[in-house]
Every structure is written in structure tokens, then in C-alpha cells.
Amino acid sequence: MSTEAKGILFALAGAVLWGFSGACIQYLLADYELSPLLLTAVRMLGAGALFLVVMAVTERAVFRDFLSDPTALRQGIVFGAVGLFLTQLTYACCIQVTNSGTATVIASSSIVMIMVATCLLMRRLPRLCDLAGLVLAICATYLIATKGDPGVLSIPADGLAWGLVNAAFVSFYVMYPRKMIAKFGSVAVTGFGMVFGGVASLVLLVGLQAHIGMGGEFTLMSLAIPALDPTLAVGLALIVLLGTFGAFGLYLHGIGIIGGVKGSMIGAAEPVSATVIPAVFLGTAFAGADWVGLLMMMGTIALVSLPMHPRGLHRHRRKRA
């Protein structure tokens, strides 16, 4: 097997495992009435600890350099406590209100937000393929939200809101750490980000529990901690080991081999697996409009991920000069 083929398989496995984690989250939130905040804390702290153990063994110099760099620590805290944490939390909240397939497809609109932000930062107009991707993303979101009937919102309004907010935070966590990743590598940045995000979720969880204990109310989500039985333990372990640590590790390793453009296209497997797995194993019902919306969003990912033509890039640079 060629090196490129291995890279494609790694990236594909990571994307599929992300979708698998969404199905596991849907099951635990529904059957155990687990708090999205508690689930996020467990997920991030567990995966972050695994990343740091791996890095301490295989990349000790990078581990020490990151910890001794005040700027990296500040940026890592922002990335973890804002980007990763709020991405994972809003994703779980959207799943709680809708389902993992719907949440993941709406979150995929982040690629359009990234495209728009990139055009603004580079002071260039979007390409035709970018505009086509934008139209497809809008149509996909419309179909999923209304099932094609403009007079009816077929998913809860708060579910749509959580999904769009999640897409915004996905855009932030993808764009913000680029300089850190270039300096320290994706494993270090992701690992420390997971730990910082897990600590932030734990602090928020403890603060809310104390607020409720003093007679306050918090109705966004239940903060009750269910009894740990074998099924819940296995579900949490799968989310931490496969759906977070394994998914991030495999996908990042894959795109390190094949590059970000092909990796972004292969990332389209995530909404597919997040839709198919709950449909098959959890009995989640999806209408025809949902599947059409999924195909449209996959088209968006493919179009926006196309590389810029070298001639167009040269003209852009010459105009700026």
C-alpha cells in the first residue's frame, strides 16, 4: 500500500470515528439523560490526558517547549477553553435537541464560514466554486430545518441555533491555532487544548452545581450524575478512546500525509457516518430532505476545499503588491 493510500485510510478512519462518537453521544444523552456539560468534561479530560501521555513519551522536547512558552500557554488556553470546549459543548447540546446526523451536517457549514473569513482576511473575492458551495450549504441547511416546507420549522428552533453556533466555534478552533500548530505540531496543540478545555468544562460544572446548591436554577440541561453501570462506562470509554483520542489522532496523522485539501474532502465522511450509524443502530428516522441536505453539504465541502489555481493566486498577489 502506498504512503498516500495509508494517509487516506487514516484520515477516513478518523472522520468515521468522529461520526461514530456523535451516535454514542446521542445514545447516552437520550438513554441516561446525561448532561452535555458533564459529557464534554469527561470527553475532553480523558482524551487530553491520553494525548499528553503519548506526547510525553514520543515528543518530550515539544512537551517541555510548550510548557515553557508563556505565549503558547496563553494561546493554548484560549484555543482549548474557548475553541475546543465550546465546540464540543454546543455540538452535544445540538445532538440533545436534534440528533447526531442533523447536528453534524449543520456543523459542516463551518467550512463556508471559514471560506468567508479567509476571503475577508486575504481581501479577495470568493471563487465561483466558493459561491457554489455557499449556495449548496444554505440549501442544505434549509432542507434539514424545514424538510422543504418553508412554512414549517421541522427541527426545534433551539436545535438549529445550537447547530449554527457550533459551526461558528468550529470555524474558530480550525483557524485560530494555525501558527501554534506550525510551531509545535497538531498533537501538542490538540492535547493541551483538550486538557485546558476539559478544565474549563469542569470549572463551569462545579460552579453551576454550587449555584444550584444555593437555591439557584439552571434549566439549560440536567446536571444530575447518573449511576455508572457497564453500558454507560463502555459508552464513555468509546467516546473518549475512539470518538475523540482515536478520531483526532488518526485524522491529524492522515492529513499530515496527504495534506489539508484532500483531508477536508475526506472529512465529508463524518456527517455521513453520523447520519448512517444512528439510522441503522438507534432507529433515528431521517426524511428524504435530510439525505438530500447531507449530499448538498458534502458537495459544499468538496467545492470549498478545491485548491486555488496558481494563476489566480499569482494575480491576487500581484494586485496586492
The three-class DSSP label of residue 239 is helix
CA-nearest of 195, 212, 149, 177 to 51 is: 195
Q: Is residue 121 part of a domain?
A: no
Contacts (Cβ under 8 Å, ≥6 apart) of 314: none
Confidence grade of residue 226 (pLDDT, cut at 50, 70, 90): confident
Per-residue pLDDT averaged across 162-191, rounded? 91
Residue 321 binned pLDDT confidence (cut-offs 50, 70, 90): very low
Please check whether residue 321 lies inside any domain of the structure.
no
pLDDT tens for residues 257-289? 887 667 777 888 889 999 999 988 888 888 888
Q: Assess if residue 275 is contained within a domain.
A: yes
Q: Residue 119 falls within a domain, yes or no?
A: no
Q: Is residue 146 part of a domain?
A: no
**89-138 pLDDT per residue, tens:** 999 999 999 999 999 999 998 888 988 888 898 888 888 998 998 899 98
Establish if 296 belongs to a structural domain. Answer: no
Single-letter residue type at 43: R
Residue 190 structural domain: 3-109+158-286
Count of structural domains within the chain: 1
- pTM exceeding the 0.85 threshold for the entire prediction: yes
Work out the percent of the chain whose per-residue pLDDT is above 90: 48
Within 13 Å of residue 80, how many CA atoms lie on the same side as its CB? 28
